[in-house]
């Protein structure tokens, strides 16, 4: 009976528990159905107020580097500071307590405004919050501007941001200080104006990307792929959750050599200041590869102020002037119509043809008279070159133009710089409108054609490159996370611009222009590096007004290569509208070319120690301090300095000596508990040896130890101070 009663009790309890759980389950299911079907629209509406549209995550824009991987353009994060005066933890008493030291701290960082100004500005934000709170209490709808109160009217870099976050009050967390930031990206160029127009710019809004130069040409590679984030508002705070991560942009490695670029820009700028010219261009190209090592385009933006302006080197389609005479002479030589020693009569420097006068630059001095074809280039005689070309092509001008086309100057080089121009070589086949009786002779000395400076440079580079014309280029690699994903190769425009014999004759002429006493390029002569090239002086067309005389309407140039016997670099220098001095391609541009050539060439000079001549000032073998053997041996081997090793095996310290013009290393022994001899050592080695012996060291002077206060070999007293003197 008792057992039956127990079973009934268990069943009853089980039923009660099951009933309770059943009720709970039914309640949960019912509540879920109510939430989903009855209140579903309400909750979805609430969710839409908490979740904002997906936001784009900007990808980091790739960097632009020089050929030796120095940073030329990069993106820098800047931060705008705001205070949310409605932050839950922001306390009025704390703010009032620290507002003065906070204002003083900001003033110390940014002294352009007083501490009082910053204090009043911060308190104005708090007062704005109080006014908003009063209006809200009256039941009015208010835009809470004090939630995004701008603390400073400037953007800070990361280091400035770290510093300002350490100031009183702002060193608290965001909920207590209300401080938060908005990040902005800025494109910066660490080397300033160096090759600035070629590197290019981007729009202020990073999303628009490249604006000009390489920034525009390689925009799709540099900009990367943006990601997507979902923005939610939870408990009054906005959180961002990435959905698709951005793919950062790739880096591009340019051909620009910062050192050569610096040399080129300085040489050009110094000359522009001297002659007060409107603008100038200089480009240096590596002969064998076509890599542009330096490119500068300086324009006057105010009295005595020049900076990188338009990329004249690649964009300007201007009449090249006398540098084009080399093209004309090459065509005539190649067609066998003239020999360098053939004579041509230039008379008094004035030659009338088809009602127009061809004039030599020395016509006012009586002209050159009868000269050779080679001298026509050396003296830059308009009359001489015009007569040679007329004699050979007057009845068939198309053949002359076809000769220019064979060289390859008329081709579109498809340069990497957006907006690049191309050479425009007229032809009788084009239109009567563009060809007249005077076109042929005027073309022969650089008028009635339009050639960008970089095209002229490419032609002269081909002469230096044994007749092989290669395309100039500005980017050699594209990298992703440090790994090369694309490597640019040298492209050939024309494998042979002329025959080897013609090329040899042209190179002799260009050498004479600079290295003969009567050459127009004499100002470019250097006793250190042999230069070959051609001067150019052209009047700038004034449109309908035609050509006018005077420096303010001239463009002068010099184009060539160096060293003449084994060319490594070609270069063009072009200057427009000089105010001071008579326009001269040799005096103005040739001297700039010379400076560039000498300084660039000097960078490549190196000599082994044994090849150097002895003198009384500089020793044949460099002085080597005594010290640790391993470090001495490493340095001597690295510098390729030969020496005789007379030290025993297991050597630790060595003494150096020069015996019979040979550097000798010998053992320097130390004995435990005895003061070591450190004479002849450098400070680092001497201090280490002495302290390792248990002595305290006081040193004075710099250089090599020549005296020590405790005699070597004396018993060491641990902790004793020893003084050493260096000189």
Q: What is the pLDDT of residues 321-342, one digit of tens each?
A: 999 999 999 999 999 999 999 9
Report the distance separating Cα 422 and Cα 408, nearest Å: 12
- Other beta carbons within 10 angstroms of residue 423's beta carbon come to 22
pLDDT surpasses 60 at 437: yes
Is the CB of residue 446 less than 8 Å from the CB of residue 554?
A: no
Domain locations in the chain? 2-38, 56-253, 259-603, 627-726
Average pLDDT, the chain: 87
Q: DSSP labels for 631-651? A: HHHHHHHHTT---EE-PPTT-
The pTM for the full model equals 0.74
Report the distance separating Cα 680 and Cα 15, nearest Å: 102
Is the CB of residue 594 less than 8 Å from the CB of residue 515?
A: no
User: Who's near 602: CB < 8 A, 6+ residues apart?
Assistant: 528
Q: What is the pLDDT of residues 116-150, one digit of tens each?
A: 999 999 999 899 988 888 888 888 888 888 888 99
Is the CB of residue 582 less than 8 Å from the CB of residue 556?
A: no
Whole-number Cα distances in Å, 720 to 89, 687, 694, 700, 717: 60, 14, 8, 17, 6
Pick the CATH number of 627-726 from 3.30.10.20, 3.40.50.300, 1.10.443.10, 3.10.20.740: 3.30.10.20
Least reliable range by pLDDT among 111-120, 258-267, 400-409, 649-658: 649-658
Is the CB of residue 477 less than 8 Å from the CB of residue 252?
A: yes
Residue 317 has phi, psi (to 5 degrees) of -105, 85
Residue 282 has phi, psi (to 5 degrees) of -145, 135
| Burial class of residue 574 (count of CB atoms within 10 Å of its CB; 0-12, 13-18, 19+) | buried
Whole-number Cα distances in Å, 56 to 74, 100, 250: 21, 40, 19
pLDDT surpasses 60 at 549: no
The mean pLDDT of 560-572, rounded to a whole number, is 96
pLDDT for position 569 = 97
Is the CB of residue 284 less than 8 Å from the CB of residue 571?
A: yes
Read off the DSSP letter of residue 112.
T
User: Who's near 363: CB < 8 A, 6+ residues apart?
Assistant: 348, 349, 350
The mean pLDDT of 537-566, rounded to a whole number, is 77
Q: Is 222 helix (H, G, I), strand (E, B) or coil?
A: helix
**For the CA atoms of 160, 163, 164, 169, what is the dihedral angle to 10 degrees?**
170
Whole-number Cα distances in Å, 716 to 355, 674, 694, 720, 726: 103, 5, 7, 8, 22
Q: What is the pLDDT of residues 473-509, one digit of tens each?
A: 999 999 998 899 999 999 999 999 999 999 999 999 9
Is the CB of residue 625 less than 8 Å from the CB of residue 704?
A: yes
Whole-number Cα distances in Å, 302 to 276, 279, 583, 644: 11, 12, 22, 64
pLDDT surpasses 50 at 551: no
The mean pLDDT of 628-656, rounded to a whole number, is 73
pLDDT for position 559 = 97
Among 247-256, 636-645, 704-713, name the most confident range: 247-256
- Domain 56-253 fold: Penicillin-binding protein 2a (Domain 2) (3.90.1310)
The mean pLDDT of 628-653, rounded to a whole number, is 73
pLDDT surpasses 70 at 96: yes
Q: Is 667 helix (H, G, I), strand (E, B) or coil?
A: strand
How far does CA 307 lie from the centroid of its chain?
Answer: 15
The 3-state secondary structure of 353-393, one letter per residue = ECCEEEECCCHHHCCCCEEEHHHHHHCCCHHHHHHHHHHHH
Among 124-138, 291-305, 605-619, 625-639, name the most confident range: 291-305
Tell me the pairing of strands 653-658 and 644-645: unpaired
Tell me the pairing of strands 237-244 and 149-150: unpaired
pLDDT for position 293 = 97
Model confidence band, residue 370 (pLDDT cutoffs 50, 70, 90): very high
Q: What is the pLDDT of residues 574-594, one digit of tens each?
A: 999 999 988 999 999 999 999
pLDDT for position 204 = 75
pLDDT for position 435 = 85
Q: Is 195 helix (H, G, I), strand (E, B) or coil?
A: coil
Query: What number does CATH give the domain 259-603?
Result: 3.40.710.10
Q: What is the pLDDT of residues 446-457, one digit of tens each?
A: 998 999 999 999
Model confidence band, residue 544 (pLDDT cutoffs 50, 70, 90): very low
Residue 663 has phi, psi (to 5 degrees) of -80, 125
């Amino acid at each position: 009976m008792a057992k039956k009663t127990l079973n009934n009790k268990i069943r009853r309890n089980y039923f009660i528990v099951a009933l309770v759980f059943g009720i709970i389950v039914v309640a949960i299911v019912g509540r879920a159905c109510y939430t989903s079907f009855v209140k579903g629209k309400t909750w979805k509406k609430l969710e839409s107020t908490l979740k904002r549209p997906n936001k784009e995550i900007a990808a980091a824009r790739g960097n632009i580097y020089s050929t030796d991987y120095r940073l030329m353009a990069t993106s820098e994060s800047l931060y705008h500071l705001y205070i949310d005066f409605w932050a839950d933890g922001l306390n009025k008493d704390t703010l009032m307590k620290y507002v003065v030291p906070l204002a003083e701290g900001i003033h110390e960082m940014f002294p352009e405004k007083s501490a009082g100004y910053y204090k009043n500005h911060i308190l104005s934000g708090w007062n704005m919050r109080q006014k908003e709170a009063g209006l809200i209490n009256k039941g009015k709808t208010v835009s809470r501007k004090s939630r995004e109160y701008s603390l400073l009217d400037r953007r800070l870099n990361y280091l400035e941001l770290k510093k300002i976050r350490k100031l009183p009050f702002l060193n608290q967390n965001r909920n207590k200080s209300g401080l938060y930031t908005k990040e902005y990206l800025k494109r910066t160029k660490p080397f300033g104006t160096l090759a600035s127009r070629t590197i290019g710019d981007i729009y202020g809004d990073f999303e628009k990307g490249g604006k000009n130069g390489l920034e525009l040409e390689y925009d799709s590679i540099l900009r990367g792929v943006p990601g997507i984030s979902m923005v939610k508002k939870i408990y009054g705070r906005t959180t961002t959750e990435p959905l698709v991560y951005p793919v950062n942009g790739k880096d591009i490695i340019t051909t620009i050599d910062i050192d050569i670029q610096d040399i080129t820009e300085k040489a050009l700028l110094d000359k522009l200041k001297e002659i007060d010219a409107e603008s100038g261009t200089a480009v240096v190209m590596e002969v064998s590869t076509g890599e542009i090592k330096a490119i500068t385009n300086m324009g006057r933006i105010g009295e005595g102020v020049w900076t990188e302006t338009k990329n004249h080197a690649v964009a300007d389609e201007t009449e090249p002037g006398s540098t084009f005479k080399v093209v004309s002479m090459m065509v005539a030589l190649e067609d066998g119509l003239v020999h360098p020693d053939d004579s041509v009569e230039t008379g008094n420097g004035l030659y009338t043809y088809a009602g127009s006068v061809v004039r030599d630059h020395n016509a006012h001095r009586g002209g050159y008279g009868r000269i050779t074809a080679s001298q026509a280039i050396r003296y830059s005689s308009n009359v001489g070159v015009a007569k040679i070309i007329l004699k050979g092509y007057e009845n068939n001008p198309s053949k002359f133009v076809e000769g220019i086309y064979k060289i390859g100057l008329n081709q579109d080089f498809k340069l990497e710089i957006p907006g690049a121009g191309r050479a425009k070589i007229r032809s009788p086949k084009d239109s009567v409108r563009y060809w007249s009786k005077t076109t042929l002779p005027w073309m022969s000395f650089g008028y009635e054609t339009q050639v960008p400076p970089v095209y002229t440079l490419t032609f002269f580079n081909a002469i230096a490159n044994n007749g092989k014309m290669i395309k100039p280029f500005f980017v050699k690699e594209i990298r992703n996370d440090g790994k090369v994903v694309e490597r640019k190769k040298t492209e050939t425009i024309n494998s042979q611009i002329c025959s080897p014999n013609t090329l040899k004759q042209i190179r002799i002429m260009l050498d004479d222009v600079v290295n003969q006493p009567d050459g127009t390029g004499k100002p470019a002569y250097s006793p250190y590096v042999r230069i070959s090239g051609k001067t150019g002086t052209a009047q700038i067309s004034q449109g309908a007004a035609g050509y006018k005389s005077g420096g303010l309407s001239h463009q002068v140039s010099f184009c060539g290569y160096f060293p003449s016997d084994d060319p490594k670099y070609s270069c063009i220098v072009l200057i427009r509208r000089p105010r001071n001095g008579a326009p001269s391609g040799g005096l103005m541009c040739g001297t700039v070319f010379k400076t560039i050539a000498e300084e660039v060439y000097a960078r490549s000079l190196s000599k082994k120690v044994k090849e150097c001549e002895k003198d009384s000032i500089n020793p044949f073998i460099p002085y080597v301090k005594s010290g640790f053997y391993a470090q001495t041996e490493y340095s001597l081997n690295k510098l390729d300095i030969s020496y005789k090793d007379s030290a025993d095996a297991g050597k630790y310290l060595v003494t150096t000596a020069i015996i019979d013009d040979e550097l000798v290393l010998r053992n320097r022994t130390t004995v435990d508990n005895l003061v070591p001899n450190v004479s002849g050592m450098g400070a680092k080695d001497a201090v280490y040896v002495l302290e390792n012996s248990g002595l305290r060291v006081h040193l004075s002077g710099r250089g090599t130890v020549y005296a020590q206060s405790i005699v070597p070999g004396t018993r060491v007293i641990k902790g004793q101070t020893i003084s050493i003197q260096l000189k």
